């Protein structure tokens, strides 16, 4: 399994344990029609429209600018994670990340552990 797939599986597992929606990537393309890889998105975290989760690559450890641009155009927050850190579900690590992004939905949509 690739690092990206491991991270997607870990976020999916986290969503079940921590009661939030994790949307697996749909095909996202840049202006030239090339696919932009990303981890996924989570509604209501990071902004009212949610967060788009990208990843940093080996040196120079920067995120994909096309993903950032797409997220901004869609009114979403974006964040780039280290795939190694998020390769396996760890409740404390995932809670810390989600807390840092902040929750922007209604109380009825907020995960119970965050209230």
Q: Is residue 112 included in any domain, yes or no?
A: no
pTM of the predicted protein model: 0.92
Q: Which domain holds residue 63?
A: 3-101
Q: Is residue 106 included in any domain, yes or no?
A: no
Contact 40/24 with Cβ under 8 angstroms? yes
- Residue 96: both structure tokens together: 């810390």
Q: Is residue 95 included in any domain, yes or no?
A: yes
| Interatomic CA distance for residues 15 and 29, integer angstroms | 25
Number of domains in the chain: 1
Query: Residues in the chain with pLDDT < 50?
Result: none
| Interatomic CA distance for residues 45 and 98, integer angstroms | 7
17-48 pLDDT, tens per residue? 999 999 987 778 888 888 899 999 999 999 99
Q: Is residue 115 included in any domain, yes or no?
A: no
């Amino acid at each position: 399994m690739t690092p990206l797939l491991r991270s997607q599986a870990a976020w999916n597992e986290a969503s079940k344990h921590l009661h939030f929606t994790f949307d697996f990537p749909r095909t996202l393309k840049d202006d030239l029609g090339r696919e932009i890889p990303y981890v996924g998105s989570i509604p209501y975290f990071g902004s009212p429209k949610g967060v788009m989760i990208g990843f940093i690559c080996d040196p120079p450890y920067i995120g994909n600018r096309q993903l950032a641009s797409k997220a901004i155009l869609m009114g979403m927050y974006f964040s780039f994670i280290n795939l190694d850190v998020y390769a396996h579900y760890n409740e404390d690590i995932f809670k810390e990340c989600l807390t840092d992004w902040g929750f922007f939905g209604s109380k009825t949509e907020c995960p119970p552990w965050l209230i």
